[in-house]
Structure 1
Amino acid sequence: MEKSPVWFKITAVVALLWNLLGCLAFAGDLMLTADDVAKLPEAHQAMYAARPGWSVVATAVAVVGGALGCIALLIKSKWAYALFALSLIGILVQDYAMFVLIDGAALAGSVAVILQGIVLLVGVLLVLLSRRAIARNWIA
């Protein structure tokens, strides 16, 4: 195994922090009570009511897979690729539910679309990064 560059380690740490924030946001979402949801704007209430349970599971797969993928990068395990691929699938399934089935773009607005676009971009970049790390023999 070859020594990975410093930027790779820094990127893995920043990505881990990003994914841990995603885990915290997901946990916060799970802890919302009916009273909490009732205090949200009507559009957000409609999204909560319409989202299928499998999209919540997809979100869990996305954030937990991403965090575990980052840990795999840091411990130099090629499992990072599989975990990031699984995370990306979770993101895509979540986005399908949010934007195709529920029409979250109309309900939540352009900010939600931009944020989910960033999440999708980071997911794709982490898959590519892990592939590059395997190809360069930085992880095994």
Structure 2
Amino acid sequence: MTNVTTHKPPMWFLVISIIALIWNLLGVFAYIGQAMMSDEVLKQLPEADQEMYANLPSWYIGAFAIAVFAGTIGSLLLVIRKKWAFHVLLISLIAALAQMYYLVFVLKMANAMTPMIIIVGMALVWLANHATKKGWLS
């Protein structure tokens, strides 16, 4: 049995963790919306978007799912102050990097959200690491 000492984190840590959880839940909803898109909704999109959605590789869809679900779980782990948050958020970041690579360099579809997703992912990995070092997570 290990003897781990944890310290109570400052209030801002909990606030940021809850905001991160909400951010990642929005990603889950975006993934579910894309994954469950009906043919009727798909047909209402511009033809170029229809073709793009029809031709997304399965690894991209998997990376999207891993990024948002791992991000949500990792953020929840931050809220409940568990060290596993770092590893789960790192997995989320790696999946998001793969996903954004495809969007930017293959589909050439970068927008303002692309760097924002990467920056938030990196910040959450840093926060989890920082919180672990400070003894806020057990």
Matched AA of 2:39: A
Which of these residues, 122, 126, 131, is aligned with residue 128 of structure 1? 126
What is the correspondence of 1:61-76 to structure 2 with a 5 Å cutoff?
61-76=66-81
Name the % identity.
37
Shift of 1:41: 1.9
Greater alpha carbon shift after TM alignment, 91-100 vs 62-71: 91-100
What is the correspondence of 1:23-62 to structure 2 with a 5 Å cutoff?
23-62=28-67
Tell me the TM-score normalised to structure 1 length: 0.89
Structure 2: gaps of 5 or more residues = 1-5
Matched AA of 1:53: S
Q: Distance in 2 between matches of 1:135 and 1:56?
A: 34
Shift of 1:42: 2.8
Tell me the TM-score normalised to structure 2 length: 0.91
Structure with the largest fraction of helix: 1
Which of these residues, 82, 87, 94, is aligned with residue 89 of structure 1? 94
SS for the counterpart of 1:76 is coil
Partner of 2:14: 9
Q: Distance in 1 between matches of 2:25 and 2:84?
A: 18
Shift of 1:116: 1.6
Q: Distance in 2 between matches of 1:56 and 1:30?
A: 8
| Runs of 4+ that moved beyond 4 A | none
